[in-house]
Structure 1
Amino acid sequence: MKKTLLFAFLLLGTVFAQAQNISKNALGLRLGDNDGFGGEVSYQRGLSKDTRLEFDLGWRNSNSVDAVKLAALHQWVWNIDGGFNWYAGLGGGIGSWSTNDYFIGNQKFNGESNTVLFGAGDIGIEYNFDIPIQLSLDYRPEFYFSDGINDNFGSDIALGIRYRF
């Protein structure tokens, strides 16, 4: 039992002690469901050797719905091996949506609009290639407040591709 605990302690110490250099900047796309937004423009800004900020801007403009959403997360990054990392983060954001007036038969219904606030978490894996490209896959649960529909929970799985500089 003592050997198992010692091994686990040493393994955790090795994982957390490994230093990695995350990019100072990374810009690209985050492609997922994201409650109907589909894709987002994604920007990461390195704060230290193992933390960064991520900002994601999604928008939707269709025949019946217009929406915009901005998410900001603080992420902690841990190296697994070489350019392969995993990360977790916390943050939140704000969004706005509006629907156009619509008809069902001959009856007209007025469109609606609202502003939404949300808290978010983030967990994912990424690979930084030798060339300045980063691929990531993450899961983001979001907890909505005042969205006017269901004041509820939404989640998103997305693939990210970013240019690091």
Structure 2
Amino acid sequence: MKKVILSAVMLIGLAFTSQAQEISKNALGIRVGDNDGFGGEISYQRGLGDNNRLELDLGWRNSRHVDAIKLTGLYQWVWNIEGGFNWYAGVGGGLTSWSYDDKHGPFPDNRDDSGLGVFAAGDIGIEYVFDFPLQLSLDFRPEIHFGSEDWRRDNFGPDIALGIRYRF
């Protein structure tokens, strides 16, 4: 029985040590995807420890009928898969500001409106960290928006994006 307990403790310890990886102190780049038209975001990551970080993203949208800005903040946990491959998960939220101008648009109310909103977000993704200072990521970020009715006409926004960041 002692051998089984000792073996289990050793396996758990090995699992935790194999997951430990030092992440970059800073990473700056872009995150390109599509969440209700937010096609591009400036993305900054700040390492807080060996396996956690803070990510801040500033997105914008400028289209025929909608102008919007979105600021996102996420706390992420990072685990090493193998070599330069990591997977990560996180939680956070943010703020949005939007302006909708539709004098001849497809909606029957032909409304002009603007507003501010808040949202909660989750995040899960995979990344590859190269030997030189480049990081590529692919993530899924579901968002639930709160506040007044806005131009999306939907409170849920799934976001899939590719991130390219310079590590320093």
CA deviation string 1:76-127 (max 9, x = no partner): 00111111111000000000111125136xx994411111110000001100
Task: Classify the secondary structure of the residue corresponding to 2:112.
Answer: coil
1:40 counterpart residue number: 41
1:123 counterpart residue number: 124
Whole-angstrom distance in 2 between the partners of 1:154 and 1:108: 23
Cα shift at 1:15: 3.8
1:112 counterpart residue number: 113
Query: How many residues are paired up?
Result: 157
Whole-angstrom distance in 1 between the partners of 2:33 and 2:135: 16
Question: Structure 1-normalised TM-score?
Answer: 0.86
RMSD over equivalenced CA pairs, Å: 2.2
Cα shift at 1:64: 1.8
Question: Structure 2-normalised TM-score?
Answer: 0.85
Task: Classify the secondary structure of the residue corresponding to 1:17.
Answer: helix
Identity of matched residues, %? 64
Q: Does 1:27 align with 2:28?
A: yes
Cα shift at 1:62: 2.5
Cα shift at 1:152: 2.0
1:93 counterpart residue number: 94
Cα shift at 1:153: 1.4
The answer for unaligned runs of 5 or more in structure 2 is none
CA deviation string 1:55-75 (max 9, x = no partner): 011011223211000000000
Task: Classify the secondary structure of the residue corresponding to 2:141.
Answer: strand
Whole-angstrom distance in 1 between the partners of 2:66 and 2:167: 33
The answer for unaligned runs of 5 or more in structure 1 is none
Whole-angstrom distance in 2 between the partners of 1:88 and 1:147: 29
Q: Specify whether residues 33 and 151 from structure 1 end up closer, same or farther in structure 2 by C-alpha distance, changes over 3 A only.
A: closer
1:14 counterpart residue number: 14
2:62 counterpart residue number: 61
Q: Does 1:134 align with 2:135?
A: yes
2:71 counterpart residue number: 70
Q: Specify whether residues 112 and 92 from structure 1 end up closer, same or farther in structure 2 by C-alpha distance, changes over 3 A only.
A: same
Task: Classify the secondary structure of the residue corresponding to 1:112.
Answer: strand
Checking the alignment, whether the CA contact within 8 Å between 1:101 and 1:108 is kept in structure 2 is no
